Amino acid sequence: MRSRLLASVRWTLRALVPALLCVCSTVFAGAAAEPQAVVKPASAADDPMAELVRKVREKPDAYSYAKISILIAREIYPDLNEEKANALQKEWTAAAAKLKEKTQDLAAPERVARLSDLIYKDRGVKTPTEMTPEKENPDHYFPHAVWEKKQGVCLGFTTLYLVLGENAGYALRPVHAPQHIYLQYGEGKDALSIETTNGGRAFTLEAYMARMQFPEETMERLKQMYFKPLGKLEVLGDLLNAASWCSAIHTAAKPLPPARALLAAELCVELGPGDYSNLDTLAEAQLYAGQPKKALETLNQALKLRPPTIGPYDQKYWESRLKRTTEAAEHSDK
């Protein structure tokens, strides 16, 4: 999502719940840590993250959403050992089994409502009330942490839905919007769009698109890149985005070293090359890795792709971000 991907997404707020704070993307932050010595990305030939991308691409059905999320989370969560991971998956499986038993005879909207109730009412998961871009928290993006600490944002909510829904036999698919991720349940004209930042409220696709209120010319352009059902590779890319970004700004419990943060960012760009939020994360990873000139070039590419009417931060924020990266590039030979 970044990404997959901190902040109130204005189009989501206008379209769905004006008072709701939607913290949606790991690609927004203020000043990061000082750049390290220049490093190269880790070798994709033997790195576990790159190997996971290859394996999921080859055999996506061999990997559950739970397994994918835990494998990436382990990169930055030192306490997520085998014992804890197994206990989590047993807990998820048990909760999903109860959900499946209670909903197997219900229509799609009621099934979605029961899944939402499990997360937001029974488990008590909520959106954080206070967050700052400088301290984006990976706990809000990885489903095991959202489940345990009961706070999350769109990527964390959506991946948790996918983990539970997959175990319960729900045909859920992730869908990207700019700086956002939501869910689709079902296929065709009867498919439901599930807004996880709005308590799991379900809309028809037509109603969901109408609520976005984008200018027609903007919407036509965005449709070429977003609003299409995706799969496990794209969610894997969003989680790589989160791991890279939170490492680069040093909010992860165990930050990836610069070379591996750079590799994670390159992998998420590979999985979503036209998404400006992935390029934004790559720019921050390059800065973290001591490559400010490359970071400036990448950030400019991201800004060219970013629709001007979209995003949680105003022009002043992006000017500040660009200024910081430009100054770093001007003081470097790399």
The C-alpha atoms of residue 334 and residue 293 are separated, in whole angstroms, by 6
Per-residue pLDDT of 243-255, as tens digits, reads 999 999 999 999 9
Number of domains in the chain: 1
pLDDT at 1: 41
CA distance 200 to 185: 11
Tell me which DSSP letter residue 133 carries: G
- Is residue 288 a contact partner of residue 261, using CB atoms and an 8 Å limit? yes
The long-range contacts involving 228-232, CB below 8 angstroms and separated by at least 24 positions, are 228/175, 228/176, 229/173, 229/174, 229/175, 229/184, 230/173, 230/174, 230/175, 230/176, 231/60, 231/173, 231/174, 232/56, 232/60, 232/63, 232/65, 232/68
How distant is the alpha carbon of residue 110 from its chain centre?
Answer: 26
In a domain, 5, yes or no: no
Residue 3 lies in a domain: no
Averaged pLDDT, 66-86: 97
Q: 132 falls in which pLDDT band (50, 70, 90)?
A: low
Q: What is the pLDDT of residues 141-152, one digit of tens each?
A: 999 999 999 999
In a domain, 57, yes or no: yes
Residue 160 falls inside a structural domain: yes
DSSP string, 267-281: HHHHHSTT-HHHHHH
Give residue 39's domain range: 10-330
User: Which carries the bigger pLDDT value, residue 16 or residue 304?
Assistant: 304
* Whole-structure pTM value: 0.85
Task: Evaluate whether residue 1 is within a structural domain.
Answer: no
In a domain, 4, yes or no: no
Rounded to an integer, the average pLDDT of 78-95 is 96
pLDDT band at 12 (very low <50, low <70, confident <90, very high): very low
3-state secondary structure of 229: strand
- What is the C-alpha separation between 94 and 133, in angstroms, rounded? 36
Per-residue pLDDT reduced to its tens digit, 150-193 = 999 999 999 999 999 999 999 999 998 877 899 999 877 778 89
Residue 257 lies in a domain: yes
Structure tokens at 241: 């985005």
Tell me, what's the pLDDT at 108? 87
CA atoms within 13 A on the CB side of 326: 7
**For a pLDDT cut of 70, what percent of the chain falls above it?**
81
pLDDT higher than 60, residue 18: no
**Better pLDDT: 215 or 254:** 254
Q: Is residue 2 part of a domain?
A: no
What is residue 76's three-state secondary structure? coil
